[in-house]
Homo-oligomer: A and B are copies of this chain.
């Protein structure tokens, strides 16, 4: 990376602005309290510069639910759509990029309205490599699998800006020679990745982990894949999965909107079984087959 990294910035109420524009006051609650939310999806730009955005309505819906989760006002989705359209028309670099929407609850000391902006930045080399397979560590998230039931203040399922633990877990994994993390509950269940959802394949079909009391974020990529798998007659279900089941799985994957489908090669240095046919299917269902 260097300072010529292509990068697009657009601010709600202002439009596309130079990427060097500062967006945030020193007392912005998003900055000093992580009191805001985000959502990220993929934007794919063709050689002629035209772009398509993956599952934009689903991401905007989740973004709006996240904003409600931090007691923000109902977002004006028309304004967001206009901003995203402007940004997508301006972004002309062929290839894959991440489109990140950001909302903050405004300023803490000096009064001010909520703040919204978006960033488009190219897919990292690391993400492209990780589509070939990842080594994963299981790390405790410190919570029980029922911690978020009837506890809205814990912000389960809300994609807040307070991602320090997610970032620290990824840094820890990389310091140990791994690529990614599966968080586990203190009562022994698999939860999710710091920025991804989990699918495992057992003899009786494909499984993912439940949202709700677990605090797990609803993964749009997992939902997309499961809908497509159901249509093709594959069995898909949701349940709590014990950590030990991972080692007996026929395959396991972490899924996210930008990196797509990453097959898990090993967990805590134990090699996992690979189902390359299913990996190909998952990529197709997720809309990532053209990337391979």
Residues of A within 8 A of B (CB): 1-3, 5, 7, 9, 19-36, 38, 70-71, 100, 102, 104, 109-111, 117, 119, 121, 139-144, 147-148, 151-155, 158, 160-169, 171-172, 186, 215
Count chain B CB atoms within 10 A of each CB in A20, A142, A168, A215 and give the residue with the most. Answer: A142
Contact A1 B110 (CB under 8 A): yes
Question: Is B35 a contact partner of A163 (Cβ separation < 8 A)?
Answer: yes
Please measure, in the bound complex, the distance between the C-alpha atom of A5 and the C-alpha atom of B110, giving whole angstroms.
6
Q: State the number of copies, please.
A: 2
CB pair A154–B165 under 8 Å, yes or no, is yes
Q: Which of B22, B71, B143, B172 contacts A142 (CB 8 A)?
A: B143
Q: A28-B24, A110-B19 are in contact. Are A155 and B168 (CB under 8 A)?
A: yes
Give complex CA distance A163, B153 in Å.
11
Q: Contact at B164–A152, with CB atoms within 8 Å?
A: no
What B residues does A171 contact at CB under 8 A?
Answer: 71, 153
Contacts of A70 in B (CB 8 A): 164, 167-168
Contact present for B172 and A152 (CB under 8 Å):
yes
13 contacting pairs across A/B (C-beta < 8 A): A5-B109, A22-B22, A22-B23, A22-B25, A23-B31, A24-B24, A32-B38, A32-B100, A36-B164, A70-B164, A153-B165, A153-B169, A155-B168
